Amino acid sequence: MEQQKNWTWGNPKYKKIYVVNGSPQKNASGTLRVTKAFLKGIGNHGNCEIEIDTLSDLNVKPCTGCLSCWGRTNGTCVIKDDIPAIKQKILDADVIIGSYPLFFFSMPGTVKTLNDRLLSIMQPYHGEKAVEGEPFHEFRYDLHEKRFLLISTCGFNEVMPAYEPLLKQYDCIFGNDGYQALLCPQGKVFSHPQMQGRTDVYLEKYTAAGEEFADHGVISEETIHHLQTPIFKQRQFELLIQKFWNDERKQGER
C-alpha cells in the first residue's frame, strides 16, 4: 500500500481517491507513471486523501462461483482474504481508479480475479433483459456519486480497436456513462530510461487532465481524445519498437 499526502482540491464532493495498481511491474509500471502524473494534477489543486494499493502485494483468491454473496450471505463473500478490506475502500472512496496495462486485449489476470470477487457489490440477476448501454446488474450500494476511472497503457500505436473488448466489459459493469477511460498508446516507451525526456513531456498532458478533473469532477471528451494522441509518429514508433526488441534479444543471448 502506498499512502499519499493529503491534498485540497476544487471539487468538495471528492475527498478520497482509491487507486488499484494492477500492473505486475509494481512501482516500475509505466502505467503507474501515467496515473501518478494524473494524481499530480489533482494535487496541484489542493487537499485530498489518496491511497494506492498494489494488487500483487495483496491476498486475493480466485472466485469459486458459489454465488453465496448473491444468496445466503447477502453481499458477503465466504472466502477469507483481503477482499473485504478492498471492498470497503471502494465503498469509502469518492473516486476509484483502476491503473494497469492492456494484457492481450483485456486486463491482467490479477485484475480479472479482483473483479470476479467484487461480484458481491452487484445485486443478483433475476432474469431481467439486458439494456445496451446500461449496467447489466444493479449495484447493491448507492454508488451514483462516485467516479470510476480506468487509466491504462498499451503497446499499440493507437488505442482503438485494441481496447474495445476491455471497454465492453466496463460498459456491462458500469454502463456506457458510468466511468471514464484514459487510454495511453505506445506504452512500451515508458519502460526505457532513454525515452524519459520525451515521455515526461507527454505526461504533462495527464497532469493537466488531473487538474481538469479536480476542477470539474469529469474529463471532457476533447481532453480524452488528446490523451490518446501517440507520443511518437507511427514511423518513429515502428523504428523504436524494432530497436527495443532487438536490444532485448541481444540481452537474452548473453
- CA 202 from chain centre, in angstroms, equals 18
Q: Which residues contact 116 (CB under 8 A, 6 or more apart)?
A: 62, 63
Pair 97, 37: CB distance under 8 Å: no
Q: Enumerate the H helices of 19-163 as residue ranges.
A: 30-43, 83-92, 109-117
User: Which stretch of 113-127, 183-197, 221-235, 240-254 has the lowest confidence by average pLDDT?
Assistant: 240-254
Average pLDDT, stretch 23-40?
A: 89
Distance CA(77)–CA(209), nearest Å, equals 36
Average pLDDT, stretch 142-152?
A: 93
Average pLDDT, stretch 11-17?
A: 72
Average pLDDT, stretch 28-51?
A: 87
Q: What values do phi and psi take at 43, rounded to 5?
A: -65, -25
Average pLDDT, stretch 55-78?
A: 92
- Predicted local confidence at residue 1, as pLDDT: 46
Distance CA(113)–CA(108), nearest Å, equals 9
pTM > 0.75: yes
Of the candidates 148, 141, 152, 87, the residue with the CA atom closest to the CA atom of residue 117: 87
- Predicted local confidence at residue 8, as pLDDT: 38
Average pLDDT, stretch 8-37?
A: 80
Instruction: Give the number of residues written for the chain.
Output: 254
Distance CA(39)–CA(49), nearest Å, equals 11
- Predicted local confidence at residue 46, as pLDDT: 64
- Predicted local confidence at residue 108, as pLDDT: 95
- Predicted local confidence at residue 24, as pLDDT: 86
